[in-house]
Amino acid sequence: MSVRPTTAPLRIGHGARPLASESHWLLSTAGKWTEEDEKEWKRQQHREKMVFFRRKKKEQQAELRNLHQQLEQRLQQHLAMQRRAAARATRDQRPGQAEEKRSAVVHLIAETEALKIENTALRDRIDRHKTLQESVVEAGDGLESAATEPTSSISSRDGSNSDSSMSGSSLSSGSSSLSHMASLQRGWRVHFSGGEPSFHFHPFSKEQLDAVRQGYDAKLTVSPPMELVGNMFGWDVERAPLVQHPSLNVLIARVRYTRRIHCAGGSAHATMDKLDSDSWPVLTTPELWQRIHNNVGTSQVLQAVDEDTYVIARNTLNPTLGVHVRYLNLVSRRRIQLPDGRRSVNYAMAVVTSDANKRSREAEPEAERRRVHWVNEGGAYMTLTQIDRDTLEVVYDHCSGCMNEQHAQYCVVDWGHIVIRWEQLVTPSRTLAF
C-alpha cells in the first residue's frame, strides 16, 4: 500500500484544492486506496491542472485585450486633444500676420519688376554705348594721319562720324570722343575699391583674345591619362599626373569634374537654356564671382568686347605670402550645335596677358612689384552638353600650376568647391542630379 498523505485538506474557497485532491485525501486516510486508485487520481489531477491552466491563460489574454483597448482609447483621446489644440491655434492666429505676409510678397514682386525694368533700361543704354563706341573706333582709325591734314578734312571725318553715331553732334564733341578713344587705346590705370595696389592696363583687341582662346582650346582638348580619384558631392573627380612646366619651376595640375543632370519630362533643352542664362552672369559679374569663390578676392570688368567675350581683373590676397595674387581673366562663351542635333555650351576662363601689359608691370616701382604676384598661365573650361532629351552633362576642366603634390591635392578640393558653389547658384530645383 502506498503512503497516504497526512496533511489536512484546504477549505473550499479561494486557493482551495480541486475536488480530486480532496477525494484522494479522504480515501487515503480511510485505508481504501489502491494502486489503481492512485493512477486514476494522478490522471484526474493532471486534467484538473490543465483545465485550471487554460482558464488562467484565457483570463490573462482577456486582461491584455482590455489593457490594449484602454491604451488605444487613451491614444485616440490624446490625438483628438492635439487636433483640437491645433485647430484652436489656427483660429486664434492674428489676422494681421497673414496680411503682413501678403504685403511682403506684393512688395517683393514689385521690387523684382522694378529691377527687371531697370535692368532692361541699362542694357539698352549699354547697347547704345557700344554702337557709339564702334562708330568712334572706326572714325578714329586714321587719327594720327588726320592730325596733319587740313582742318576741313578733320571736319568732314568728324561730321560723317557724327551723322552715323551721334546724330548731328558738334565737331568739338566728336574730337573729344576721338581723343578719349585714343587715350583708351593707350590704356588706363585700374584702381580697386579695397585699397589693393593699382596697375596700368592695356586693352586687348578682339583678334588677340581669339588667338588666346584658340591656344587654350588646343591645349585643353588634348586629354592626358586621367585617374578617377573619387566622388565629391555627386561630382566624379578625375586627375591627371603632375607634369613639370617646360620653362618654369612649377608643376602643372589638371583636374576634371563631371556630373550628369536628369531633367524631368524631357526638359533637357529648356534646362540647358536656363543653366546658360544663369551661368554667364555668375562668371562675368564680380559680385557673383565672389560667391562661387567663397567671397575671397575681388574682380573688376575691364573690357566687354562683345556679349560673349569679357576681360576681367582678378585679385586675391594671399595672407601666408603677404602678396596679392593677380591675373587678367578672359571669360569667353561659345554655343555649339553638334552634328546629331544636340547642343553644347562652352565657357572658357583663361589667364591672358600681352607684351604691353608685361612692360607696364615691369615699369612699376619695385615696392609695388613686390606686393603683387602676376599669374600668366592657367585656366578652366566648363562645358554643358545635351546627352538626350532627359539628360545633361556638365564637365569642369581646371588646369593650373602648383608647387608640389600636397599643393596639388589642396587644389583638387579647392577647385571642387568652386564647381559645387556654381551648381548651388544655377541648378534649377526641379532637376535631379545623378
Domain boundaries, the chain: 1-84, 108-184, 187-433
Q: Which three cell numbers, joined as nine digits, stand for 101?
A: 505676409
* 338 Cβ contact list (under 8 Å, min separation 6): 344
Q: For residue 33, which phi and psi values (nearest 5 degrees)?
A: -95, 130
Matching CATH number, 187-433, of 3.30.530.20, 2.30.40.10, 3.40.50.720, 3.90.930.12: 3.30.530.20
Burial of 352 (0-12, 13-18, 19+ CB in 10 A): buried
**Polymer length in residues for the chain:** 434
Each of the 434 residues of the chain gets a pLDDT tens digit; together they read 444 444 444 444 444 444 555 555 555 655 566 788 788 888 888 888 999 989 998 999 999 999 889 988 888 888 888 888 877 776 665 556 777 777 788 778 877 878 888 888 888 788 777 777 767 666 654 443 343 333 333 333 344 333 434 344 444 444 455 555 555 667 899 999 888 999 999 999 999 999 999 999 988 888 889 999 999 989 999 999 999 988 888 899 999 999 999 888 888 888 889 999 999 999 999 998 988 887 778 999 999 999 999 999 999 998 888 899 999 999 999 999 988 888 999 999 999 999 999 999 999 998 888 999 999 989 999 999 999 989 999 999 999 988 899 999 999 999 999 999 999 888 765 454 44
Q: pLDDT value at position 146?
A: 40
Cell 560667391 -> residue: 291
Q: pLDDT value at position 255?
A: 96
71 residue type, one letter: L
Alpha-helical regions (H) of 93-193: 95-139, 143-146, 151-161, 171-186
Look at residue 228 and give its three-state secondary structure: strand
What Cα–Cα distance (Å) separates residue 210 from each residue in 108, 205, 263, 300, 344? 42, 9, 34, 21, 19
Q: pLDDT value at position 152?
A: 34
User: Rounded to an integer, what distance in angstroms lies between the CA atom of residue 291 and that of residue 282?
Assistant: 9
**243 - beta bridge partners?**
252
User: Rounded to an integer, what distance in angstroms lies between the CA atom of residue 298 and that of residue 315?
Assistant: 5
- CA angle in degrees (0–180, nearest 5) for 322-199-380: 70
Distance separating the N- and C-terminal Cα atoms of the chain? 89
Q: For residue 433, which phi and psi values (nearest 5 degrees)?
A: -80, 145
Q: pLDDT value at position 350?
A: 94
Q: What is the dihedral of CA 136, 141, 145, 150, to 10 degrees?
A: -30
User: Rounded to an integer, what distance in angstroms lies between the CA atom of residue 203 and that of residue 185?
Assistant: 7
Q: pLDDT value at position 177?
A: 52
Q: pLDDT value at position 24?
A: 58
Residues 360 and 347 sit within 8 Å (Cβ to Cβ): no
User: Rounded to an integer, what distance in angstroms lies between the CA atom of residue 379 and that of residue 312?
Assistant: 13
The pairing of beta strand 323-337 with beta strand 372-374: parallel
Q: What is the dihedral of CA 106, 109, 115, 121, to 10 degrees?
A: -100
User: Rounded to an integer, what distance in angstroms lies between the CA atom of residue 51 and that of residue 67?
Assistant: 24
Q: pLDDT value at position 354?
A: 93
User: Rounded to an integer, what distance in angstroms lies between the CA atom of residue 417 and that of residue 425?
Assistant: 12
Residues 344 and 338 sit within 8 Å (Cβ to Cβ): yes
